[in-house]
Structure 1
């Protein structure tokens, strides 16, 4: 049985600004670095065998701290990236509401039907994530595997493993450096933990 430790990257400057990131990039803030360090320490309590990470800057920064703490190499994978938000990347919610009001309404009410200009849709995101996880699950046996990814991608992956509708993405919360644990048992995936940020408790951020 493989166990996947699926984590989101640390806080970025664009997270603070409320900007849509997607395949665009923003570095970790000082708080984000602290979050990633505390996440790495938490993961050291588990016997981690492999680390796979999205190849975007914010996940590279996060996974490198995990790698340094666990003394495990990282394999970077494009298929663990965040959804490509196309023309929305770098924009704040207020800017999106102003320039793409009709599409934003669909995104908030029927996200699976939203057609954001030059963006990836949720169904394509779902397929690339499932392909990745299923490939890794077949490749390894009885292993503890860390996946470093992104908020929307993790939400879609968890919904997909539950065979739930993609319209439910707003019913799942994913904070920065949140830990999710999924066990792939002989009858299918079982979600053991989701959005665990207990490693951040008691930490004062300035």
Structure 2
């Protein structure tokens, strides 16, 4: 159908902080060597679609991943703040064990009721979801009949998929999003159909 907008939603590649299990949020760290290889692998994977535009969070780890994809189609990357990672506030830069020690009650909420958590100085999942869904709505209207790639972050990808599946943010941990995971969905007359979640077959052998 010519008026269907196809989206390929990709999580960025690995950074040193992913490996160290540190909360990244708005800290602007780039891909590590493994992440760069992952970005090239996912870029080749995305060539199974004919992509008309590439969008990315404005953070380096997403931009570098998006640039690898864009090169496959001779496109430029357009950055959008609305799909930037969740602001983890006072947790940013801290390892999981440090957060457990300093914020035990809040960390328990993060694991068991993430939709109820408000990190000091940070965002809620609802706030991330609201801004991310607004971006997808706008892109869907702008690119009717086209296929676009969007590179974002684990939290952003998770809350978007929950929204499309009609689930609230209490289900946050029920969707996996590995580094350079490929998700796909389409929008037709305002209705979203999810066709792929957390596909990482391109990482085999890396």
Q: TM-score range by the shorter chain?
A: over 0.9
TM-score computed with the length of structure 1 as normaliser: 0.96
State the Cα distance separating 1:83 from its structure 2 match: 0.5
TM-score computed with the length of structure 2 as normaliser: 0.96
State the Cα distance separating 1:187 from its structure 2 match: 6.2
Q: Using the alignment, how far apart are the partners of 1:25 and 1:175 within structure 2?
A: 19
Matched, 1:196 2:199: yes
Q: Is the Cα contact below 8 Å between 1:27 and 1:58 reproduced in 2?
A: yes
Matched, 1:121 2:124: yes
* Pick aligned residue for 2:168 from 165, 169, 181: 165
State the Cα distance separating 1:68 from its structure 2 match: 1.6
Q: Is the Cα contact below 8 Å between 1:40 and 1:70 reproduced in 2?
A: no
Q: Using the alignment, how far apart are the partners of 2:190 and 2:148 within structure 1?
A: 19
Q: Superposed, which structure 2 residues align to 1:4-153 within 5 Å?
A: 4-153=7-156
Flag structure 1 segments of 5+ consecutive residues without an equivalent. none
Q: Using the alignment, how far apart are the partners of 1:98 and 1:9 within structure 2?
A: 28
Task: Give secondary structure in 1 for the equivalent of 2:9.
Answer: strand
Task: Give secondary structure in 2 for the equivalent of 1:2.
Answer: strand
**Compared with structure 1, are the counterparts of its residues 187 and 81 closer, same or farther at alpha carbon in structure 2 (3 Å cutoff)?**
closer
Alignment size in residue pairs = 203
Task: Give secondary structure in 2 for the equivalent of 1:98.
Answer: helix
Write out per-residue CA displacement over residues 132-169 of structure 1, whole angstroms, 9 at most, x where no aligned residue. 00011111111101000000110011001112010111
Runs of 4+ in 1 over 4 A off after TM superposition: none
Write out per-residue CA displacement over residues 72-96 of structure 1, whole angstroms, 9 at most, x where no aligned residue. 1111000010100000000011000
Q: Using the alignment, how far apart are the partners of 1:202 and 1:17 within structure 2?
A: 22
Task: Give secondary structure in 2 for the equivalent of 1:65.
Answer: helix
Write out per-residue CA displacement over residues 98-149 of structure 1, whole angstroms, 9 at most, x where no aligned residue. 0000111111111111121001111111110110000111111111010000
Q: Using the alignment, how far apart are the partners of 2:127 and 2:100 within structure 1?
A: 24
* Pick aligned residue for 1:3 from 3, 6, 19: 6
Task: Give secondary structure in 2 for the equivalent of 1:63.
Answer: helix
State the Cα distance separating 1:27 from its structure 2 match: 2.0
Q: Using the alignment, how far apart are the partners of 1:18 and 1:142 within structure 2?
A: 39
| CA RMSD, Structure 1 to Structure 2 (Å) | 1.0
